[in-house]
Structures are given as structure tokens and as C-alpha cells.
Amino acid sequence: MSDFVSDFWSYYIAAIALAGIVWCVWLLLSQTRMRGPDAGGPRQVDAQTDTGHVWDGDLRELNNPLPRWWMWMFLGSCVFALAYLVLYPGLGGYQGVLGFSSQGELAARREAAQASQHEVYARYLAMDIKAVAADPGAREIGQRLFLNNCAQCHGSDARGSRGFPDLTDGDWLYGGDPATIETSIAKGRHGVMPSFAAAIDAKAAGEVAQYVRSLSGLSADPIRVARGEPVFKTTCVACHGGKGQGNQALGAPNLSDRVWLHGSSEAQIVKAILKGHDSRMPAHEEILTPERIRMLAAYVYGLSAGTPVAQR
Ligand code: HEC
Ligand code: HEC
């Protein structure tokens, strides 16, 4: 209501609402006055009450007054409507005596929900995060939070897909200790690999790709590997390291293991070199309370704790 730029619409709406109620009361009173000659006793059928309509031989339509119970119910609902409009917002911009607002109610409910959850979380906040990861109750909460907030990208089993990292395999772009996972969730991540199309042509890119494949023992053509190696050693080592082992400070993936974020085929690696990559994990500190982020970090940590890097 208060979104209106001028007061006119506020008054306009208030006037329509009130006029509607007044009209209803007037209609009711005007109809109750058309009573038959007798108020009680057996009804007389005369010219005033008989409308003259007859169906099926002897079924006559009479013009009887409204039943009293109905009339009082109708008046009662008008009184209710007026009382409601005094107490709650409903007349244009008028806020109502009770100061109710749906946003206020939502905020109050959310606060109450968070307060009640706080009790549940308080127990886990006092525990070491690795112990939280092993607690079945905490895992259940973590899984629910994960399904609601993370599954759309990482999959409901957290195993990820092309471009979305598997969180269960023990192989980390940024690091798998609980604190780093918590930072990944709270602050988000932005993995950028620049395009090298200006420096490396398609043929050379294919050769570097062969070298990259050889790093993790995938089938590769030895001649092209030998040609690609010097390019890798000059262009790629800065981020991916001398042996392609990656760099967690930059989120540069380990290229010497069997875990691939964007794919291990020559074409997929050539695409990485020529087009680059730009992957974003959204920050969640604005959406989730710190308590929830900690529960999620514990859950994600627990998914792979003790799991050796998956061999795939
Ligand atoms: C919109 C998609 C999206 C959502 C939603 C999302 N993530 Fe991510 N997440 C990503 C992407 C993409 C990356 C990889 C970023 C990169 O390559 O730099 C990532 C990376 C991560 C990492 C770092 C992995 C590593 O190997 O270091 C963690 C941990 C993580 N996400 C956990 C979560 C959790 C927990 C949630 C739910 C609160 C979540 N993510 C929600 C897309 C998402
Ligand atoms: C400035 C740092 C940087 C340089 C230099 C760099 N990369 Fe990357 N590279 C990254 C980052 C960061 C990612 C992860 C992108 C993401 O999160 O999606 C990546 C991803 C990749 C991937 C995908 C890995 C996977 O698991 O699917 C390949 C392949 C790759 N780089 C190869 C190369 C090669 C070959 C070169 C040299 C020509 C190179 N990179 C140079 C930072 C770099």
C-alpha cells in the first residue's frame, strides 16, 4: 500500500472498501422493511406476499422477509469487516491499530525458527568440526541443508558433474580441511584459467594436451608429448606446477591425477587451453547463517574424510 507515490490511491481504495460495507448494510435494511403484514404466527398469503409466480400447478413464489438469523449473521459480518479494518491494514495506506504487517510477521517467525534451531546447533558449535562430521544427527542436518542449497550444482550425492567439482573424492581444488571448505562455502570461489589462444595455436595446443594426458598416465602420442612438454614448462607451470600437481592457492587443478573437472580428452584439454575456464561457486555467507555454513562444512568434510583420491 505504501508503495503508492500519491495519497490519492490510498483514499480511493479506502473509500471503495467502506462504501462497499455501507452499501451492504443499506441493502440489508432496505430489504428487511418489506415485511409481510404479520410478523409472527402462521403466514397469511395475500397480494403483498404472493409474487404471482406459480410452478408445477401449486408451487407459488412468496415474497417473505429475510429470516432473522440470516439478517443478524449478515450484520455481524459487516461489523466484523469494520472491526478488522480498524485493527489490521486494509484501508489504503492505513496501518491498522495493531501495527500488523506480513513482513513483520515473517521476520518474527524467522527469528523464532532461528532461535529454536540455535539450540540444536549450539551443541555442535561447541564440538570440534571433525567430531561434528562424524555425528549422525549432524550429518542428517547437513544433508538436508546440502540438498536445499548445494545439490542443484554439486548433485544430490555431492559427486558433481562437468564443471562442478565432486565433493566426495578427496581431491580438492582449494583444499579439503574443514576451515578451507568453510571458506569455500562462505566466500564462494572463482576459478579462472585464462585463454591462451593468442599465444598457442591449435596444433601446439593439441601437443600440450597430449603432454597433459601423459602426466596422469593416460594414453598419449610420445612424439606430440615431447613437443608439448616445453610449452607446458613455459606457459602452464606458473599455475599448475612443474609436475602438473596443481596449486590450491589459485584453485588450479592437479593435472597429474585421474580426477577431471572439465574432462580429460584431447579435445576437452585443447578447449581449456584455447578458451580458458571461468567457474564460479557462489558465496553463501549472505544466504546462510554461520551456524549452517559450519554444519555444511562438517557434512562436506565428512563425505570424503579418509577417502583416498578416487581413481577414475
Ligand atoms: C551455482 C552452482 C553452485 C552452488 C549452488 C554451490 N556450488 Fe560449490 N562450487 C561450484 C563450482 C562451479 C565450484 C568450482 C569453482 C571453481 O572451479 O573454482 C564449486 C566449488 C565448491 C567447493 C570447493 C571444492 C574444492 O575442490 O576445493 C566446495 C567445498 C563447495 N563448492 C561446496 C558447496 C556447498 C557446501 C554448497 C551449498 C551451500 C555449494 N557448494 C553450492 C558451484 C556451486
Ligand atoms: C593463471 C593460472 C593458469 C595458467 C597459466 C594455466 N591454467 Fe589451467 N587452469 C587454471 C585454473 C584456475 C583452472 C580451473 C578452472 C576452473 O575452476 O574451472 C584450470 C583448469 C585447467 C584444466 C582443466 C582441468 C580439469 O580438471 O578438467 C586444464 C586441462 C588446464 N587448466 C590446462 C592448462 C594448460 C595446458 C595450461 C598451459 C597452456 C594452463 N592450464 C595454464 C589456471 C591456469
Atom of ligand 1 lying closest to residue 299 CA: 35
**Which residues' Cβ are closer than 6 Å to ligand 2?**
191-194, 196, 208, 212, 232, 235-236, 238-240, 250-253, 255, 260-263, 269, 272-273, 277, 279
284 touches 186 (CB < 8 A): yes
189 within ligand 1 shell (Cβ under 6 A): yes
Per-residue pLDDT tens over the stretch 240-249: 999 999 999 9
Answer whether residue 137 shows pLDDT above 50. yes
Q: What is the pLDDT of residue 311?
A: 40
Q: CA torsion, points 93, 96, 98, 100, in degrees to nearest 10?
A: -40
Report whether pLDDT(55) > 80.
Answer: yes
Q: Is the pLDDT of residue 309 over 80?
A: no
Q: How far is the CA of 196 from the centre of ligand 1 (A)?
A: 25
The C-alpha angle with vertex 284 and arms to 278 and 290, in degrees rounded to 5, equals 145
Q: Which ligand has its closest atom nearest to the C-alpha of 161?
A: 1
CB under 8 A, 24+ apart: contacts of 272-275: 272/193, 273/195, 273/196, 273/197, 273/200, 273/205, 273/208, 273/209, 274/195, 274/196, 274/197, 274/200, 274/202, 274/205, 275/195, 275/197
Distances (CA, A) of 87 to 1, 3, 7: 16, 20, 20
Q: Residue 23 and residue 306: Cα distance in Å, rounded? A: 75
Res 2: pLDDT = 58
- Taking 90 as the threshold, does the pLDDT of residue 204 lie above it? yes
> Residue 68: pLDDT band by 50, 70, 90 thresholds?
confident
What is the model's pLDDT at position 275? 96
pLDDT tens, position by position, 252-298 = 999 999 999 999 999 999 999 999 999 999 999 999 999 999 999 99
- For ligand 1, whether the C-beta of 284 sits within 6 Å is yes
Cβ–ligand 1 contact at 297 (below 6 Å): no
Query: In whole numbers, what is the pLDDT of the chain averaged over residues?
Result: 89
What pLDDT does 34 receive?
Answer: 54
